[in-house]
Amino acid sequence: MTRKEDPSGGQKETRERVLDSAESVFAEAGFGGARIKEISRRAGVTSAMVHYYFQTKEELYRAVLDRMVADLVHLVSTIAPAPIDPVPKLKRFFYGFFDYAARHRNFARLTSMEMGHDNIEYALELFARHFKPLYALAKGFLQKGIKQGAFQPIDPDHLLSAIYGMTISYFSDSPFIEVLSGRKVGSQATVAQRRDLLMAMILRIVLRDPEQAVSP
């Protein structure tokens, strides 16, 4: 079977389903423990169909990472050029990043050292090539807001790493949070509450004028 032939039809839909399944299996079992058979079972396709799209398990894993990166790059590229005031743009950036993390709840595990040396090197290269420019863009946005007097004179690096940590860890550490809190943290209502709480915390830290928080 060549890559020009997809006997199932709906190539994009099938490929995305395989990537969805691979993302969850890699997160649960690690790169070494993941099996193509299990990925194909969850995707509802044959193992041959998985190999039709991805010749090796490493190629499949890297495609999962690539999709995550592309999703975030697209998000930032649609928000960054918007000619809007700093506070509404800050809200868009954070809500967009939080929703991104909610869509890719396995992000932290998929970029961890347990995935193997070769793949972590690939992940680090992706971060340097794609995420670092996005980070620089966010840092520049904060620095500009500080210079304009819209934001408090805070350290952008500390703020961005704090936002990253408290957003990503909510999903990656959800089993531990559920043990501590005694409640499910993945429901739509609970995730929405968490999203709004973090946004309120960030605004309280960043803004000079609390009244700015109510701007659209």
Domain parsing of the chain, residue ranges: 1-55, 62-214
Instruction: Supply the pLDDT for residue 52.
Output: 93
| pLDDT band, very low/low/confident/very high, at 1 (cuts 50, 70, 90) | very low
Superfamily for domain range 62-214: Tetracycline Repressor, domain 2 (1.10.357.10)
- Quote the longest CA-to-CA distance of the chain: 62
Cα of first residue to Cα of last residue in the chain, in angstroms, is 53
Fold of the 1-55 domain = Arc Repressor Mutant, subunit A (1.10.10)
Instruction: Supply the pLDDT for residue 79.
Output: 82
Segment 22-32, tens digit of pLDDT = 998 988 888 88
| pLDDT band, very low/low/confident/very high, at 4 (cuts 50, 70, 90) | very low
Whether the model pTM is above 0.95:
no
